[in-house]
Structure 1
Amino acid sequence: MTTTVDLVPGVVTTREAIAATYGCGTFQGIEPAAEAGMVFVYSDPSAGEEYGYTFDGRAEDDEFGPLYLYTGAGANGDQKPSGRNGSLLTAADKGREIHLFVAHGKVAGSGAMRQRYIGQMVLDPIKQYDVRRGPGKDGVMRDVLVFRFRPAPGTTPAWTEADRLPAAPASDYEITEPAMDVPEPVALPAQSGAKVKDTEQHSTAETTADIPAGQRKVLRREGELVKAFVAHLTAAGHATHSFQIAIKGEPGALTPDLYDATDHVLYEAKGQTTRANVRMAIGQLADYRRHIPNKEGLRVAVLLPGEPTADVQDLLAAEGVALVYQTEDGFVGWPIAFNES
């Protein structure tokens, strides 16, 4: 007798029961169900621990609300935004819902994992994924796609404290490429097909924030700014990269925007020239520089899309932070003088 799975946040089921109900596979972490108009995502933080890292879990809420991180498909080599990973990126365009499950112990008398349904998700409309560095199943370091899920509108996720992103076991860093991807904003899909139902035991008032279009434009401008500046530095013969910095006892990682290895300068980019944005950049740089290898002689700078006010420029000078901003002709403030550290 086939068991029908009703997608109610908090329900515990199996991959086999989900496959029998919705017509998807049972073996991969990302399982599209085309006829049902769904993509099923199975998160198992313990799987990553076998390789020496864990990127899966509920991250700290930000100004836009709850956030869940999920490691993409691909056991060895750099993960690509195609194949099963691509099924997440194209879900909105194809009108498919994304449904998130988390491993919930083994089925009695079997090696199969039970699955706890968290709820319907959408990819973050500003930034769909981060690129992280981690070992593959073969032990070789590679790029890993870490998808950024938000609860779909009207969804009350059934996550618990156990679903929190685990803390890093030790402080460490990896050299990464600068964040230069500038994807088009993704529209939030309307809910269709299987309905997501709330239950009394998961009635916490928690919904995903409606991320303003203005903020999307600001972060897109920031990405374009970093991309243009990297091209500028590359044309000048400079080597650039960034860092993924794990802090012992803390979840997630610090990820500076850009490091100019040739001039030993760390940059933090912002999509606006406001005082609030510059103050945030100053704080981020102060935090990052503590963990950068070879701190001797390291200089820090804020990268902006235009010239800030005179008083904001005075603030940066008082804090020993250089300023580089973009104009129609290039970048003012670069190269950075050595006496600005």
Structure 2
Amino acid sequence: MPLITPASLSLELQVDQKRIRNVLRELYGTLPTGTTRWELSEEQADAVRSRLPASEASKERQWTLEVGDTVRRREIHDAFRGQQQGGISTPKSIPAILIFTDPKEGAKFGYDRFEGLREDGSYSYTGEGQEGHHEFLRGNKALRDAAADGKTIRLFRTSGTMATYVGAFTTGEPVYRMETIPDASGAPRSGIIFNLVPVDADTTLLPPYGGERPASATITDWTPPNHSDIVVAQDELVTTGERVVSRVEFELQADFGRWLESQGHVIKRLTLPTESSTIEPDLYVESNGWIVEAKKSSGRAYVRTAIGQVLDYAHVARRAGYTVTPVILLPGHPERELLQLMTSLDITVVVRRGDSFHALQPNH
């Protein structure tokens, strides 16, 4: 017999789950200790149905699922209509686009290659189309235009016939990028990779980009970044979560790392697991605990971004048991008040000085 929960009843009756749980408590009392959700028999569900007057069920479709709810995918489509096949559904009964991801099944069509939760909290989602090049038709077009059309993107992670509601998303900047992905036979094709950012979601329910996240922090050898391998499509602070930076930034990282090594310091890569993804600072100076975030400019926007990033790295590293100092590496002097701000946050600021590097003092 199919499992019935307040979530599935809310889809059927179009009644808020809080109202349904209130009725259940009136009828059956509170949940037993250790039980986290209602699992109803058909008789109990009928009792709830009989207690909710027909007038309470709105004729207009409304969104009743809560983040973390798991229901049958069929129940979602029965409630809101829309396409039952494919990963993108565009029901006309609600202002939303429903998207579904199944990492295991998606791997058969090359969808896992560029899909997952990124370091910056965005989610890369591969467009629909199992054969041939992706085009902006049907679901792909609707997803691209979701923000402009005023539609919420609602993401589900599926397994078999069940779907877990991850939450509400919108499109980021840029909205998408094109990548070469394989089809079911392994032949290369052009794929649309959408850049989605959470509005109200539990991103821990999503798989990380690039595979399983490590259970603990890992330290590996550092090698100077090779800037010749980097292609910069546009000069923006915000990207899709890739470590897309300019030649200046990579040269700065490489030169600083080599200079530190010449001073006898040990440079490593430190990968830090978070609740939902992994993050990695530009440099980890193991010999003195410096966690370094480099920026190609000392302009205010770049410095503000670096402050948030390096404090996040330091917080996660300390939680993992490391004694660290946050360091921002810049090509030149920032404004005095920005230096004072970073000093007040116990951030060390390092700038290039000819062939060497220098840690600034707040009165400089």
Q: TM-score, normalised by structure 1?
A: 0.47
Point out the structure with max Rg over C-alpha. 2
Relative contact order, CA 8 A, sep 6+: which one is greater?
Answer: 1
Name the one with the larger helix percent: 2
Q: TM-score, normalised by structure 2?
A: 0.44
